[in-house]
Structure 1
């Protein structure tokens, strides 16, 4: 497949490609036929660029589903075919070499080699970049310096060299440093790369089910997160954003960001800036009891003011909370809305299968399934919050986060439920 211009690849007609409608949160969304359980869509080829490939790592639960089916049991999978792979580091539990041999996937020692499949053109229809896990340094803000910018730079340098652009997915947040995140976004805009990024939790199961209509009058919202700040606040911020972006008139960006710990974080509840009722509604979904929450070790609060006046609120409670949850108040509704974003492990981390469905849709249509600006904004909030932490909890004005975008009504799991057949079936 030969390309000659820096434009997205030509795709088959929407009428031929798409069939039916999937149940969506507050609406309907047309998805590729493979997502409806049909087998008649010709697979698109993808190159994988990953940091490390071992069981349970992001590369495994994303790329492994292309080779071995949605449930990684040898059953049916996405309408994608893995054409090539680049692995930055080979760990002691490496799976890449064995799977590459089993499925006849060539491994390359350069990113350009993987994107061109060793040739002098770009024959693949998309690239999946997984810059997560592996032996990489940390900076003074405790950001794990995964090579996401380097990966994207070399991928897009290859596009420019060979005169063809294809869609790219970047796993998790951009950056992780703000300058790198913004550079990646600007490069995608410059070269007109169909670009997606972000957390698998935005499309995971919600317990209880929560479908928030577009244009909702959200008066207040509180998120609870757990685990490390850089690694898991990224997830919590993005699932928070995937709900609050559905408010009336959103999204226009964030005016300021502040990180708080100790007495200062709990004062935000005590003085009424953050609703105690909403906080406890979210906490109840991820903690056995609220008792002792104020004594929880390493607890912190991310506060950020949206440009339309909504206060963004994320409590990170490592060692106390057991998951990610959000509660919110909608104008005119007496009852609060709250849900937990599930991280199921069986079969083989299924929320990553729903993320892969969104990637599949982009690669087949040439258009992102939802805006990368959401991930850019949350990447910026995270970086600014960690900067505030380093600067002794200073509030940071953030004109760089005046990021505007229009959200789309993309569904979360199940849409439809995954289907698979036994290995060898």
Structure 2
């Protein structure tokens, strides 16, 4: 099975760097290094970073490096010649919108990918790394185009398939009264991860996913005033924080800088919060807590496994399962919804914390199913923590890209393309 890897940029710790290499070398997991069943048949890099290793990877593993997305999908020919697409639109030197969103060209990439697929009339699976797009209109276009062309589409965060302590998820079909996620770091990039953690649990509640009615993002002192007004639960925040190994144990307002909170109201009345606790080191992990009646469930998410970046080993394994089967490990609607929630939160923040009604998200209904492979232990072990050598930028030969030969011009009645 041949895969085209379409990436924004490729340096050692970029998402391309920690995902594509797994498809070439194997997927490190607690149960061993799992050999790929697929092959990277082509590579397209939109921007060459100053610490680029993508060209060196292409040289080392004999992967053709193309100058256009179309060429990468056709392997330099005229028709679709691959069986799946790995679209990694994360990192790179792109503008930032007035709302603070990184304007990564995921839709633009997907437009080109879907056009080649449509021309061939051969739907193939496409994985889009992280949220579908920074703008709802783009995400909606991608989702609806995939459905129209019958393209199997999946998008995801690695967080739902990392180590949990305890190894727990919300029991399917049971009610949730309220839920909260602890997050940190960059509001858009890491806020998305926090929303995926949240959604992976709450979508399993009684009645399934019903959509979102409104979103509000509060900043600074607004966050603590909202707690006083019981718009989010300090007791749930403390329950989540208590699960973080080496963490603060409980909320200490004086130690938090630049806090944010996303307040989410679902159509069925569920209220949830994502509490982003800044970037000063107060917390460096995600955690989750929820209330069911008088019971509170909480758990920590652990990501770090050293140089293997094995969280992406598990994510990559699930991507490969999707490519081979054509069936997403969980409904793509999860990330379709979190994409919309994230944009609404960014809009709310840009408006000084005003509540944003989301009728476009109220119609996203789905039932959770999860075929995702994830670790059962609370910490990495086995191949997840084994040695993993990474190429040093500039230290090994780099591949030369294959120039494009097609200009796209159609001439005369013969319709010959240049």
Range of TM-score over shorter length = 0.7 to 0.9
Q: Partner residue of 1:133? A: 91
Equivalent residues in 2 for 1:15-414 (5 A)? Answer: 44-71=1-28, 76-286=34-244, 287-290=247-250, 292-293=252-253, 296-318=256-278, 319=280, 320-331=282-293, 334-402=294-362, 403-414=364-375
Deviation at 1:369, TM superposition (A): 1.8
1:229 is paired with a residue of what secondary structure?
coil
Deviation at 1:411, TM superposition (A): 4.0
Deviation at 1:213, TM superposition (A): 1.7
Deviation at 1:265, TM superposition (A): 2.0
1:236 is paired with a residue of what secondary structure?
helix
2:218 is paired with a residue of what secondary structure?
strand
Q: Contact 2:27–2:317 (CA<8 Å) still a contact in 1?
A: no
1:218 is paired with a residue of what secondary structure?
coil
Please give the per-residue CA displacement for 1:49-108, whole angstroms capped at 9, x wherever unaligned: 001111121101111011112239x96422111110100011122111111111111010
Q: Runs in 1 of length 4+ with deviation above 4 angstroms? A: 415-423
1:406 is paired with a residue of what secondary structure?
coil
Q: Which runs of 5+ in 1 are unaligned?
A: 1-43
Please give the per-residue CA displacement for 1:134-177, whole angstroms capped at 9, x wherever unaligned: 11110111101111111111100111122222000000111111
Give me the whole-angstrom Cα distance separating, in 1, the residues matched to 2:346 and 2:290.
25
> Once superposed, what is the RMSD of the aligned Cα atoms?
2.2
1:336 is paired with a residue of what secondary structure?
strand
1:375 is paired with a residue of what secondary structure?
helix
Deviation at 1:353, TM superposition (A): 1.1
Q: Partner residue of 2:400? A: none
1:339 is paired with a residue of what secondary structure?
strand
The TM-score normalised by the length of structure 2 is 0.85
Change in Cα spacing, 1:291 to 1:338, as seen in structure 2 (3 Å) is closer
Q: Contact 1:128–1:168 (CA<8 Å) still a contact in 2?
A: yes
Give me the whole-angstrom Cα distance separating, in 2, the residues matched to 1:273 and 1:131.
34
Q: Which runs of 5+ in 2 are unaligned?
A: 389-418
Please give the per-residue CA displacement for 1:13-51, whole angstroms capped at 9, x wherever unaligned: xxxxxxxxxxxxxxxxxxxxxxxxxxxxxxx22110001
Change in Cα spacing, 1:219 to 1:422, as seen in structure 2 (3 Å) is closer
Give me the whole-angstrom Cα distance separating, in 2, the residues matched to 1:212 and 1:418.
27
Give me the whole-angstrom Cα distance separating, in 2, the residues matched to 1:345 and 1:419.
10
Change in Cα spacing, 1:294 to 1:422, as seen in structure 2 (3 Å) is closer
Give me the whole-angstrom Cα distance separating, in 2, the residues matched to 1:270 and 1:310.
19
Q: Contact 2:133–2:339 (CA<8 Å) still a contact in 1?
A: yes
Q: Contact 1:256–1:304 (CA<8 Å) still a contact in 2?
A: yes
Deviation at 1:271, TM superposition (A): 2.7
Q: Contact 2:203–2:209 (CA<8 Å) still a contact in 1?
A: yes
2:188 is paired with a residue of what secondary structure?
helix
Q: Contact 1:71–1:347 (CA<8 Å) still a contact in 2?
A: no
Q: Contact 1:181–1:379 (CA<8 Å) still a contact in 2?
A: yes
Give me the whole-angstrom Cα distance separating, in 2, the residues matched to 1:410 and 1:222.
24
The TM-score normalised by the length of structure 1 is 0.84
Give me the whole-angstrom Cα distance separating, in 2, the residues matched to 1:215 and 1:144.
36
